[in-house]
Structures are given as C-alpha cells and as structure tokens.
Amino acid sequence: MKQPSSKQQALDHLIKLEQDIQQLAQVHSLATLEHKLKIRQNALEFLFANFMTQINQDDLALLKDIQSKSQAMLQDMQNNKQDKSEQIIKYKNTGKRIRLYSDIAQQK
C-alpha cells in the first residue's frame, strides 16, 4: 500500500485499521489480528513521524479512543486466556479421572 500523503489520509487509514482490528477481535481471528496490529503500529509511527506538527486536539482524542479500545481488547484477551487455562486444567483433571476409573475397572 502506498503511504498517505496527508494527515487526514493517515488518520482515515488508521480508523479503517482500528475498525478491522475490533471486528477481528470479536470473531477471535488471532493470526489476522496480530497482522493488523503490526500494520496499525506502522501506521501510527508513520503518522507521528510525518505529521506530528499537524496533530491537533481532535486527533489526540481519536488516538486516545484507539488506545482505550486497545486496552479494553487486551483486558478481554487476558480474561479469555485465563478462562481457557482454567478449562484446560478442568478437562485435564477429568481425563485423568476417567483413565483412573478405566484402569480400576479393567483390574476387576
């Protein structure tokens, strides 16, 4: 993709990426999400490197909104990770119990 030539184009691209990221997070498409996050990081770096002097309070509000959404998404992902870990442990123990009962039944 070619680089944006104005601040507004860079912000529009960033908004589009953020919408894609939020949608991917909702459907749990983690590989594509990681790719989009890297692209967004590059877009942010490009925005600050080339249009820093043009950024105003509205732009900062937009960037803070993106930051808060990212933090919320990260918190949700951490909670999902914890839930999955607990499920794995629960099922892992259940599997051991089933094998134990099977072993006991075969010995009789």
Mean pLDDT, contiguous 10-residue spans, the chain (108 residues)? 85 93 84 88 92 92 93 86 75 66 66
The answer to whether 39 and 20 are in contact (CB under 8 A) is: no
What pTM did the predictor assign?
0.71
Judged on CB neighbours under 10 Å (0-12, 13-18, 19+), 63 is: middle
Q: How far apart (Å, rounded) are the C-alpha atoms in residues 15 and 17?
A: 5
Which pLDDT score, from 0 to 100, does residue 19 have?
Answer: 93
Which pLDDT score, from 0 to 100, does residue 68 have?
Answer: 94
Query: How many Cα neighbours within 13 Å face the side chain of 58?
Result: 4
Which pLDDT score, from 0 to 100, does residue 108 have?
Answer: 46
